[in-house]
Each structure stands twice: as C-alpha cells, then as structure tokens.
Chains A and B, each alone.
Chain A
C-alpha cells in the first residue's frame, strides 16, 4: 500500500517514513505528496522564530499544551542547524517538548537545515503538509535560531511570532530592518527579567512607527515566561485573533496566492535544475566546465549559454 494511503488511515510510522523520504530527496515522495495534497489545506500554520536561546522550544511546548487543552491536535516541525563541516546535526528542540511525545494528539518531527538558508529546511513545507493531511489542526514550525535575514517562515506560516528576550539593548536597533518586519505577534519571553518591560516598550515603539492603513493588522507585543507557562493563554488568543483577521479581512487570499506561487516556482526551479544538471554530471562535462573556469579559459555566462542553446536545439529536433 502506498505511504499516502497508510497515512490517511492513521499510520504514524508511514507518516514518519514519508517525512524521511521528503528530507532525503527521494523522488517517490513526490507521488505520495500528490496523493496527500487534496487532503491538506485545513491546518493552521504558526511560525515561531527568534534568536538562539530566546526560549522558542519551551514556548512551543507550552503553546502545544494550551492548544491540547482547547482540544486541538498539534503537529510540530522543529528545525536545528546542520554542521557545515560534517553534515551531522544535533537536534535538541525535543528536549523541551518531549513530554508530549506519547500524546496521540501530538506529532513532533525534528529537521536539520541540511545547508538550506532562510531559517528552515528545504523539506519544511512538505513535512508540514504531511502533518496537515494527518489531520493536525495546528502545525507549529520552530525555525533555527535566527539573526537578521532568515525570514522564509513568514511566507509559509499563517501567523508568525517573533520571540525576543530582554537584554538585547542596543541590538534592537541592529535587527529592526529584518525581523521587526515579519512578526504578526511579538513575544518578549523570560519576562521575569528586569529589562522585560523596557524591551517590550522599545519593540512597541518601533512597531508604532510602521505605516499602516486602517484595517491593517497591528502586531502586539506580549510578555511570556515560557518555563512557567505564564502568558501562554493570551498568546494563543492572539494567534486566534490574527487568524480571524486573516480570514475576516480577506488578507488570506493574497497570502495564499503568494504562497502557492512561491511553492510552484521553487519546485519548478528545482526540477529544471536537476533535469539540466544530471546529464552534465553523468557524462563528466560538469567537471570539465569547472576545470575551464578555474583555468580562466572561459567564463560561466558563456558556459550556461552553451548548455541552454544545446537544450533548445534538442527540443527543436
């Protein structure tokens, strides 16, 4: 039986296996995803992002507990970095959330970035799709610890929460160009720390400077203490307010159009690249190209022109 059928019948191992096939780039995963696609599209995707050590995983653990209390099934995709040197990774987000491991209403998957930039892995969207098709009501995506520019999550999740901590001080100035633009909700975690109010005020002041039209979503700054579970119910209420705004204002239509367009273009790019690249690697021409480039006998623009011209000629025949 194909994995997709088993997944729709509730087989957890099949779901875990398909996620592996997606992550490992197996072509067979495409057919399974085709079968699952019509069954997805119901889950609400929440992105949690912020710098390393801000408490993202602990927050995800608490948000999960809150959604479980509200009777929702929760999928979690937690991403940690891959070593650029060995390709290995330590995926440690589960440490904060493994109390949910044997809850049948929760499915947690850890992913490594595997060289993908942008704060998530290449497989993240499709792994979330599998969880969606499994019938998860909410899928929470926790990015790697981010700095300034890893903002892919905002194009994937319906609601993005940016988690900050007190004590970043002047650093707030430095990060405002990137991260302050992508949050639908801002969280000041570790709010028991002395500087928490100041951090929340500074964030709020910065957000007030954003130009917004009447009826646009106005992000709020909320304070939490994830390790004690303080402020989590209000945070989840805020996620739900943002969801109501998206669907009530029609903003969801533009979001989905942009998201679908981006997913199509990414798959197209990847498949076209593979189609062109595979024969070049197979017959060794790619290695010759590299040699010629290193020896400066030609330039990369000419080589790409040549390859594309050859393809056009083949198609005309």
Chain B
C-alpha cells in the first residue's frame, strides 16, 4: 500500500497582520517533510474550514496574535464539527495567556503553543499526535 504524506493547513484567522510566526512554522513543517497549505492573512473561520476540507488535511494549525483567540479558535473547531470534519485536529499558537488554555482545550483544541516554544517541539508534537487519516 502506498504511504500517505502528512498534510497540514497553517492559517491566520481574524484581523492581525503579522504572519512571520506562521511562516516560520510553515517552513519547519516543510523541512519535516509535510505538505503545508498556507492560506495567508485575514481568514475567516469559514474560509479556513472550507480550505481544510477541500485540501483533505490531517490537521489545522492556527496562529493568532490579536487577542481574539477565545472567539476565533473555538469557532474553527465548531465549524469543523458542523461539517462532520472534526477528525481534522486543530492546534493553535500565539500570544495566548495560560489562563485561556484550559478553555480552548475544552472547546476542542488539541494543543496550544505559547511564545518561546521551539519549532522542533511543535514538529515533534505533530509527529506524535497527528496521524495521516487512513
């Protein structure tokens, strides 16, 4: 049987204009041998979810620095569920206070990475926690 290549969507939901972090993560995933679909800045949760479904990705990584994480990240999880696509795992990263993390995980995020996390750790987490869907 042929082998699957892991596909990851890297998205920037909402209104923040800084995607250096997202690009660094995308590059690290590329170097790890994943196919990375980067959707660019200013995406609505609806656009991100449609893209994730059309691209048949195994997981979605959301980078957010605007402070709207408590609204936008759960919204992505909720939309995936509505479209019967919550087998696509969601993780997030950015300027996110520790206090908000339990709530985000409760809303369906598999992991939240805060500033200072190395790209190696994130790649390692993806390898250990995300399997290409059979």
Contact = CB atoms under 8 A, between A and B. Distances in A.
Interface string A12-33: 1100110110011111000000
A12 B31 contact: no
Contact of A90 (B38, B46, B53, B84): B38
Contacts, number: 95
A102 B36 CA distance: 20
Contacts of A23: 5
B2 A26 contact: yes
A101 interface: yes
A86 interface: yes
A169 interface: no
Interface stretch (B22-30, B67-75, B97-105, B107-115): B22-30
Contacts of A24: 2-5
B37 A16 contact: no
A57 to B, nearest CB: 10
A89 B47 contact: no
Interface in B1-60: 1-5, 7, 26-27, 29-40, 43-44, 46-48, 50-51, 53-56
A87 B43 CA distance: 27
B65 interface: no
B5 A87 contact: yes
Interface string A78-98: 000011001111111011101
A4 interface: no
A15 to B, nearest CB: 8
A237 to B, nearest CB: 28
A102 B26 contact: no
B54 A107 contact: yes
Contacts of B43: 98
A98 B52 CA distance: 11
A89 B35 contact: yes
B39 A90 contact: no
Contact of B31 (A88, A101, A109): A88
B37 A110 contact: yes
Interface string B65-106: 000000000000000000111000000000000000000000
Given A101-B47, A108-B51, A94 B40 contact: yes
Interface residues of A, number: 33
Nearest to A112: B35
Contacts of B54: 12, 16, 101, 107-109
A85 to B, nearest CB: 8
Contact of B46 (A89, A102, A108): A102
B33 A87 contact: yes
A99 interface: yes
Interface in A109-145: 109-110, 112, 114
Contacts of A17: 56
Q: 6 tightest A-B contacts by CB?
A: A95-B40, A88-B30, A25-B2, A16-B56, A101-B50, A101-B47
Interface of B: 1-5, 7, 26-27, 29-40, 43-44, 46-48, 50-51, 53-56, 83-85
24 contacts: A12-B54, A13-B83, A16-B54, A19-B56, A24-B3, A24-B4, A24-B5, A82-B35, A83-B30, A86-B30, A91-B36, A92-B40, A94-B37, A94-B55, A96-B40, A98-B39, A98-B47, A101-B46, A101-B48, A101-B50, A101-B54, A108-B54, A109-B54, A114-B5
